[in-house]
Structure 1
Amino acid sequence: MPFVKHMKKKQLAFLLTLLIASGVAAQSRKAVFLLDTSYLPPVYYESFKSDLPIYNGRLFESYPPSMIGTPFLDDSKWHNGAVCFDSVWYKNLNLRYDANAETLIIEDKQMLPVIISNQKVAAFYLENRKFVKLGTDIDKALVNGFYEILNEAKLPVLILRKKYIRETINQQESKVDREFIWISKFYIYKDQRFLQVHSQKDLYTILGVRRAVVARALRKAHIKFKTNAEEAILAAAQLYNP
């Protein structure tokens, strides 16, 4: 078992190295997210069209219009992207990511929203943004889900973006307001381990950089961890120099 776990971590390190080194959208050339994925010949996509396996999902049902905000990543528009589905890359797709249900939605050939099976999705792009599925089988510190890889630095920074529904009683109108709220988890990948970042203090410990150095860099960039953790972690990660 320890040997298997070690091999998984070695493979993951290579996976992340390849992904970050690619630095390009999947639409421009073959992506290198995973070691065993490939594009099929164009004739395959043309021949099957609407019968492609990636479209074999259930229809997405919209949330009630009374809800405040959007369940999707950024907005409810379709975004061009690519998906590694069942070890095969499908490109030039219209996609949306439901951050509440943590599911990827595709627009099929009939222009209907279809939920792609999470079990068969290994990674995907939304425009130039890169996401990879990780979980407890890779590292016990992780939560199962799709992680966005934020940078191409020596220390990869990943974020698990999720929305939950917050319910509050609106006494003035005698109703319950339901609103989509962000909750994010940040990780730094270092020494074949995923280390969660909860606070600025965690940055000092993980990076092995003196507190004053990190604080000075954040002040110079006009970034505060409490108000913009994502930018603070990215800025601090650039200071790492093993």
Structure 2
Amino acid sequence: MRICTLVIFFSFCLTLRSLAQEVAATEPSKETAYPISLYKAATSQSQNLYNGRQYYVYDNRSEEHQFFEFRKWHNGVIMYDGQRFDSIPMLYDIFKDEVIIKHFNGDHILLQSEKIDYFYVDNHTFERLEAGKDISEQMRTGFYDVLYNGKTRTIVRRVKQRQEKIVDKMVIALYPQKNNFFVRKGDQYYGVSSKKSAFNLFPEYKRELRKVLKDQKIKYRKNREVAIVTIVETYDKLARP
């Protein structure tokens, strides 16, 4: 009877030791606890960024594409839900006016546009502006490329339209791009298309503005974007008190 009791006691001790080893194995050691805590802190900040719907690339075999500048991923900066994220692989779908980022696992994540304050990619800064609040009521809410951020601001709405053509009985998608320019003078935004409409915004300096374009050999029709920015920037210098 005594021997049986001893056997049971030692068996119980071995079971407790085994359980203790299992618990110790599941708990992080002192060497790994700190890196794990850093990882959790970093990922907790980015969880909201990668919490969007999956984006599926359409018309990926077409000659033209729906994205800004390039079809390939480019690292950029984004201000999302009040937090800034750097070196984020992203695409800007101009046709749908949507921003897409690449998840760690390779998935394409569609961000919520209303949570984006701005994003910077390919040396362009896009701000999300709301009609009737940040811009005029007749302008469309969405992302605008900030070309010149002086006292007299210059922005452009870059859009693409989807068109189709049939080649060898196959439907090919085309995405011609159109740029709509706006200049803020005072508290009002004005649409600018022709050279005349640009000069009419600053009637008191027409002669000086024409001279600047001529001296710098800027042809309005060939390079409208540079011409508009040059006109507005020159006006700010001339009108400076």
Common fold by TM > 0.5: yes
Number of the residue aligned with 2:42 = 46
Q: Distance in 2 between matches of 1:127 and 1:65?
A: 21
The one of 145, 148, 151 equivalent to 1:151 is: 148
1:141 deviation in Å? 3.7
Select between 135-144 and 108-117 the one with higher mean Cα deviation. Answer: 135-144
Q: Is the 8 A contact 1:134 1:142 kept in 2?
A: no
Q: Distance in 2 between matches of 1:47 and 1:154?
A: 39
- Segments of structure 2 that go 5 or more residues without pairing to the other structure are 1-37
Matched letter for residue 102 of structure 1:
D
**Distance of aligned partners of 1:45 and 1:152 in 2 relative to their CA distance in 1, 3 Å threshold:** farther
Q: Distance in 1 between matches of 2:232 and 2:204?
A: 10
- For normalisation by structure 2, the TM-score amounts to 0.73
SS of the aligned residue for 2:60 comes to coil
Q: Is the 8 A contact 1:141 1:196 kept in 2?
A: no
> Which protein is bigger by CA-based radius of gyration?
2
SS of the aligned residue for 1:239 comes to helix
Write out aligned runs for 1:1-242 (5 A): 46-48=42-44, 52-138=47-133, 139-168=136-165, 173-240=168-235, 241-242=238-239
**Distance of aligned partners of 1:198 and 1:127 in 2 relative to their CA distance in 1, 3 Å threshold:** closer
Select between 209-218 and 230-239 the one with higher mean Cα deviation. Answer: 209-218
Q: Is the 8 A contact 2:148 2:233 kept in 1?
A: no
Q: Say how many residue pairs are matched.
A: 198
Matched letter for residue 140 of structure 1:
E
**Distance of aligned partners of 1:168 and 1:223 in 2 relative to their CA distance in 1, 3 Å threshold:** farther
Matched letter for residue 142 of structure 1:
M
Q: Is the 8 A contact 2:64 2:173 kept in 1?
A: no
Matched letter for residue 224 of structure 2:
A
SS of the aligned residue for 2:208 comes to helix
- Segments of structure 1 that go 5 or more residues without pairing to the other structure are 1-41
SS of the aligned residue for 1:64 comes to coil
Q: Deviations over 1:62-103 (max 9, x none)?
A: 122342212111102222222222222222211111111110
1:231 deviation in Å? 1.0
Q: Is the 8 A contact 1:68 1:180 kept in 2?
A: no
Q: Is the 8 A contact 1:141 1:195 kept in 2?
A: no
Q: Distance in 2 between matches of 1:118 and 1:47?
A: 22
Q: Is the 8 A contact 1:103 1:118 kept in 2?
A: yes
What is the aligned-residue RMSD (CA, Å)? 2.3
1:210 deviation in Å? 4.2
Between the aligned residues of both structures, percent identity stands at 23
Q: Distance in 1 between matches of 2:66 and 2:139?
A: 22
1:48 deviation in Å? 2.4
Q: Which runs of 4+ in 1 moved over 4 A?
A: 42-45
